[in-house]
Chains A and B, each alone.
Chain A
Amino acid sequence: MIFVSAGIFANTVDNYVDSALNRYNQKDYLGALAYYDTIQNHEYSSSNLYFNMANCYYRINDIANAVYYYEKALLLNPDNEDAKYNLNIANSRLKLKVEVLPIPFYKRWETKLVQSMSSDSWAILSIIAFALVLLCVAIYLFVNVLSLRKAGFFIAIIMFVVFIFSMIMAFKSAKQITETNDAIVYTETFVKSSPDNDSQNLFSVCEGLKVEVTDSVNSWYNIKLQDGKQGWTESAAIRMLK
């Protein structure tokens, strides 16, 4: 019974995807978004779904939402080249340009490495590596031929390193998705020096800007821009990527 209903729903979801695509082609972007929202409401998600939603928002000039969903698409699949490309275009239409602070090379390499594959790909890689470790240990234990035993021993050690490494990568990548502190600004606002309305205005942020939330007090977030500027803003002004 459960399987049957799940199967029927899968069919309707496919229909939704097709309808949304039709609407998009007819330039009815709001209509397409309505279908994508329904899909999302049924707890379905994917990098490509977010990418398509972002495209719709971009077409109706809602840059804040467009940036939000491109970032979300990239979070699920850091490898999504189209999302990277479109995000770049969307970002170029922001009112404010923020110079990105130079990131130390090792951090840059680390994120590049973590993002070179999705979390699940890393996980699968680590499972394969683990299976190979066990196989090589078995060869070492039970095969009488000396050369095979030697090879088994060394391959086992290498595969063990690969296993541990890809497992760490899988966790890091998964953590980025579920525990990201990044947020997108939704309303143009002033960033204050402390979490209350009477404090001094430090600088302003525009819609669609990506910020990092580093702290929160009541309904105030401490946000950090990519150029290193920090300040407090009301939580209503931004939306977390999580």
Chain B
Amino acid sequence: MKRISITIIFVLAAICAFSQNVTFTGKTSASVVGVGQRIQLQYDLNQSPSSVELGNISGFKVVGGPSQSTSTSISIVNGRTTQSRTVSYTYVLEATSEGDKTIGAATAVVDGKKYSSNTISVKVQKEPVTQQSRQSSSYDPFDEFFGSPSQSQHRSAGINQQSASGAQTVSKDDVFIRVNVSKNSLVKGDCLTAVIKLYTCVDLVSITDYKAPSFNNFYAEEIEQTQNTWQREVVNGKTYNVSVLNKYLLYPRMSGSVEIEPAEIKCIARVRTGQRSFWGYVYDNVEVRAISPKVTLNVENLPQAPADFCGAVGNFKINISNVGDSASVNEAISYKVTISGEGNFNVIDAPKLNCPNEFEQYDPVVSQKIKTTDSNMSGSKTWEYTIIPRYGGDFNLGNISFTYFDKNSKSYKTISTDDVVISVRKGADDNTVVREYNSQNGVQYINDEDIRFVKTKLNLVASYVPMVFSGTYFIWIIGLLIVFVVLVILMHKKIRNQQDVELMKRKKASKVSRKRLKQANKFMQQGNKTEFYKEIIRALWGYASDKLGIPTANLTKDNVSQAFAERNVNEELAHNFLELIETCEFAHFVSAHDDNEMQNIYRDTVKVIEQLEENIK
């Protein structure tokens, strides 16, 4: 029964809720706020919306929220039940700029309808407002036993209680932050320590925000602290609890007056409200913002520096590892250079090796062991070079020098190592590597040389065309060919003419001799011996001359017999021929021959010529 009635009540309540008008109001936790401080912005609705959107919040930025909370209250008065339901959206805003700001109307969507809230005006001022936090807490006596050491210390110190009953306020003098520098003037490259300290004479609950200086004009190295403890210090007759927030080693990058940007801190201080409750004092948490004063340093420039000065200031030593005095070609040599001492190691670059060109050099591997102390950086920086000799021989690797500014004597000092002399033995495969080396580093060799001088004779050619394309070439070839052909034709004709004459003579040889023989026959019948023999001799000689191609002037018996031999004429036949000529010549002078003999000779002659005709083709 009871359950049913409760259910009915809820249903009714829901119906009531729906019948209600939508209210949408906004409020802020404070109407005056300092730049950098935070306020809460809360929107309340009596219906749950599907979405809520912030309006224009220029001058603020949202740092938290929205956080949603719902509360429902049911009141029964004189039997009448009223139920109210509140949905609230809370944002945390931080003021970013000064002036009178208006937080624009937010919009909420309920059942598809849009509702807008009121606008809220907030004054943002430069100075931080000592602002009462929303929840005030009462002082808990047990805190003394369980609280933080700082608080208990504070308590026991018992300072800063203006009056036993009066309300506490937090002034600028109560909480402040300072950047303490070890010196205000120094030379460029030297270092100083900057200590950032928080001074307080009130209870600090927590630090909400801390911005260390950005040290734009410095090379900053943080010094690690052992422990963050509170110490006491008296400033202007007031005792403060002091905490070291950070310690830095600073190297100015510029000369002249150099500024260290201020540090900023926000913390929550706990102060008494002045009220007392049953338990004791009532305390409030107050947010305090403190900015450190600017620190200006005077940085002097260094005197005129030598060319190889890299900016190192301090006190240094240079060392090289033992390279050894011999190596072989292509064997990697480790060459370590160490600079140790005290000073600004960060600016020291790799020292330059003056290796001869015969060595191939690789970029060094850097390792450093540097400790940052309160006064300076100290330690060592090592560069390990790898060099590879590519040729054999004795080489001086030179020395390595390093220039720094000595703080104590206020002058530049150049320190250098001893020369390193190394003898490189030739390896077995020397040649192959030398070639490779040349192709890699040949540039260095060639850069030392200059181009050769211009030519004084230009051998200019008007519009040069290669001979083979200009036609000259073919004119030459064709010209030569024509000369050759003409020559051949001429020669050929001459040869043929000559050959023709001989052939004719040869062909006619027997004919001519036959004519002569006929004549001889005539002389024989007439009994004219002398003419007969003359004619026979003529016939024989003529035949030999024509047939063998021997000119008449050269006609001798030897020549003829030689010609017969060349033409493979039967030896007997040749002999007969020559004997016949002899007989005739003999008979020609001795006229004591009869007709019979003439007849024999005539017959023999005809026979010999006929046989020769058959033999000689």
Complex interface: stretch among B238-246, B399-407, B447-455: B447-455
Q: Assuming A55-B451, A123-B468, A124-B467, is B460 touching A170 (CB within 8 A)?
A: no
Q: Flag if B466 contacts A48 (CB, 8 Å).
A: no
Residue A21 interfacial (CB < 8 Å): yes
In the bound complex, residues from chain A placing their C-beta under 8 Å from that of B466 are 119-120, 123, 170, 173-174, 177-178
Which residue of chain B has its CB nearest to the CB of A32?
A: B454
A137 CA to B234 CA, complexed, in Å: 126
8 Å CB contact of A119 from B446, B467, B484, B491: B467
- Contact partners of B449 in chain A: CB under 8 A: 89
B488 within 8 Å of A by Cβ? yes
Q: Which of A52, A123, A131, A178 contacts B454 (CB 8 A)?
A: A52
**A151-179 contact mask (Cβ, 8 Å, vs B): 1 or 0:** 00000000000000001001101100110
Taking a contact as CB atoms closer than 8 A, the residue among A76, A92, A134 that contacts B464 in the complex is A76
Interface string of B435-449 (1 = CB under 8 A from A): 000010011001101
Assess whether A184 is interfacial by the CB under 8 Å rule. no
Interface size range of chain A in the complex? 35 or more
Let me know if A43 is at the binding interface, CB within 8 A. yes
Q: Which residues of A have CB within 8 Å of B469?
A: 174, 178
A89 touches B446 (CB 8 A): yes
Q: Is A51 part of the contact surface with B, judged by Cβ < 8 Å?
A: yes
> Which stretch of A80-88, A190-198, A199-207, A222-230 is in the interface?
A80-88
Given contacts A52-B458, A119-B468, whether A134 and B463 have CB atoms under 8 Å apart is no
- Residue A186 at the chain B interface, CB threshold 8 Å: no
- Given contacts A21-B456, A24-B454, whether A127 and B461 have CB atoms under 8 Å apart is no
| Closest A residue to B460 using CB positions | A44
Question: Chain B residue with minimal CB distance to A81?
Answer: B452
C-alpha gap A44/B454 in the complex (Å) = 17
Q: Which residues of B contact A99 (CB under 8 A)?
A: 439
Partner pick for B480 among A92, A131, A167, CB 8 A cutoff: A131
CB contacts under 8 Å to B, within A32-53, are 39, 42-49, 51-52
Partner of A130, one of B442, B454, B458, B477: B477
The answer to whether B463 touches A43, judged by C-beta atoms less than 8 angstroms apart, is yes
4 A-B pairs with the lowest CB-CB distances in the bound complex, closest first:
A174-B466, A123-B467, A48-B455, A52-B454
* A residues with CB within 8 A of B: 13, 17, 21, 24, 39, 42-49, 51-52, 55-56, 58, 76, 82, 85-86, 88-90, 92-93, 97, 99, 119-120, 123-124, 126-127, 130-131, 134, 137-138, 141-142, 167, 170-171, 173-174, 177-178
Pairs A–B under 8 Å by Cβ, sample size 6: A52-B455, A89-B450, A92-B446, A127-B473, A142-B491, A178-B469
